[in-house]
Structure 1
């Protein structure tokens, strides 16, 4: 009987130790390098944002943070990799507004955009830009719309991928302006810009920071920004609404999250570290310069509510625009 009691006591202590494991691991978190995944091509806006955040968090947390790009399917491949990673705080991810669009544009997903993750914080909000090559006949968005109305289905526009905010911005323009441009998806911002310059597509919806230098040098013409007000990065480019499409407003965002089940203490540590670096003038300037947007952190709960509300918003846009799911 004595050996049974001793065995039971040992088992109890072992069970208590194992149950305490996650809490104990959170106490000294992080104790090794962290991987930060995003779902877009290297060199694009998401990649740039990821590297800025990785630099800040690495310095704040005292561990290297390795950025890993898994491009494709409008960010879904990256999101799937994040969702399936071990929820130990050593894999986190950066997602953009496309994360809340996917439920509306895909018949099925291998993860749930709101429920398969533990949110950490939003980072930044920013507009997009509708652009053409400088030698393109349309010198304004109004002229482009007039050309598209004359030849329905003849014009195409490129984006960073099907289901991205860039894609939906073009589809919403189609619907609100009464035109029919054909969407051509690419695997990232840089690829869509290369396609525009090479003449593969006449129009792209791109990220302002990637187009700013080309617009300022005259290689590309920015026809309109998608926000209701002009952006500081491209003050001479009018808004879509200024071009006559009343009520048009598309802004995207970026945020960081982790796989569902990540210890709450780890999420709290990551949220605190993220909010701290977002308040640093250097990080704020780098983020704002990177996308020409507004830095805005949040609580995990606020980020989840944002994603849930965006899913409802974009589902309505997709339904009204009659975009077929894939």
Structure 2
């Protein structure tokens, strides 16, 4: 009797095991088929900045190339707010089916150190797809300002600690932290004044509201070429193609200074490896297209550079460590 009961339990267990294996096999087959057919409908591409800005422009250029390679429309959706955090949260919460992806910038790696609490993890809540572009920033003053070089600006700031104001696109932006890093690297003290966008910082500079700004090469190049603004230094180790006559911060005496922001694409955590691979291939093919490459470089004044998902993940992890150190050293309050 006991043996009969034992056999019954065993048969029940084996039956359940085969049923589970069968379901898993069917699900795996369906998933593989789904990934193989992907995509079959339009894909939504989110970014966290204002329409018409750099992130929006990059998204539209990339979407055009991706659409050609994936055979489906890419619908751009701007979800601005909190330095890109609102869009990142929406991407993290989206269905991981490959039909919601996002473009994030260098701010994505700043947020973990800047905000006390985020509704997502900047690394573990996502599947990385590929980086797309890297670009430097420019430290600039009005053409008639007394400091004619970065060295002279630093000397002026040392002579008048806490009296030199500089503008950026917002608190916690890469522009802001580039200024903070300059302070700690050069041993000076300045005052950060945040504005709501690049164009407003230029208006403030030209209007005499502010003596110095940290901005993007693509925005400042026309003003620098016209002579209205003086570019003191670019923040990358190499000179900008848009501003070949503007020296690097390293050339100007701030050795080892390197601040480059970037943009890349990611998807919600749990998106299948096959879909991520399909998207990575499409992104890298898009970036290799000469017309698209030229459009991206013109849009941001930087360089086009794709990556593997693993390389993008490593980039974000290293940037989180870097900016956390800058924020701590500069005593920037967390939000």
Query: Normalised by the size of structure 1, how large is the TM-score?
Result: 0.89
The match for 1:116 is 125
**Which deviations, in whole Å up to 9, do the C-alpha atoms of 1:35-86 show, x marking residues without a partner?**
2111222333222211111111111112221222222322222222221222
Q: Is the 8 A contact 1:72 1:161 kept in 2?
A: no
**Which deviations, in whole Å up to 9, do the C-alpha atoms of 1:87-145 show, x marking residues without a partner?**
22111111112211211222121111111110000112221111122333332222222
Query: Is 1:69–2:81 an aligned residue pair?
Result: no
Tell me the SS of whatever aligns to 2:67: helix
The match for 1:91 is 100
Gaps of 5+ in 2: 1-15
Q: Which moved more, 1:252-261 or 1:76-85?
A: 76-85
When Rg is computed on C-alpha atoms for both structures, the one with the higher figure is 2
Task: Give the Å deviation of 1:17.
Answer: 6.0
2:138 maps to which of 102, 106, 129 = 129
Distance 2:163 2:124 in 1: 40
The match for 1:142 is 151
Task: Give the Å deviation of 1:303.
Answer: 0.8
1:205 maps to which of 214, 217, 222 = 214
| 1:282–1:138 Cα change, 3 Å | same
Tell me the SS of whatever aligns to 1:108: coil
The match for 1:285 is 294
Q: Report the count of equivalent residues.
A: 319
Distance 1:249 1:14 in 2: 52
Tell me the SS of whatever aligns to 2:267: strand
Query: Is 1:311–2:330 an aligned residue pair?
Result: no
| 1:68–1:221 Cα change, 3 Å | farther
Task: Give the Å deviation of 1:191.
Answer: 3.5
The match for 2:179 is 170
Distance 1:84 1:192 in 2: 34
Task: Give the Å deviation of 1:192.
Answer: 3.0
The match for 1:36 is 45
Query: Normalised by the size of structure 2, how large is the TM-score?
Result: 0.87
1:57 maps to which of 56, 66, 73 = 66
Q: Give 1:244-283 correspondences, 5 Å limit.
A: 244-283=253-292
Distance 1:27 1:12 in 2: 22
Distance 1:192 1:94 in 2: 24
**Which deviations, in whole Å up to 9, do the C-alpha atoms of 1:258-279 show, x marking residues without a partner?**
1111122211110010111111
The match for 1:106 is 115
Q: Is the 8 A contact 1:75 1:164 kept in 2?
A: no
Task: Give the Å deviation of 1:22.
Answer: 4.1
Query: Is 1:160–2:177 an aligned residue pair?
Result: no
Distance 1:47 1:136 in 2: 33
Distance 1:183 1:193 in 2: 15
C-alpha RMSD of the superposition:
2.4
Q: Which moved more, 1:11-20 or 1:268-277?
A: 11-20
| 1:18–1:193 Cα change, 3 Å | farther
Distance 1:312 1:15 in 2: 40
Gaps of 5+ in 1: 1-7
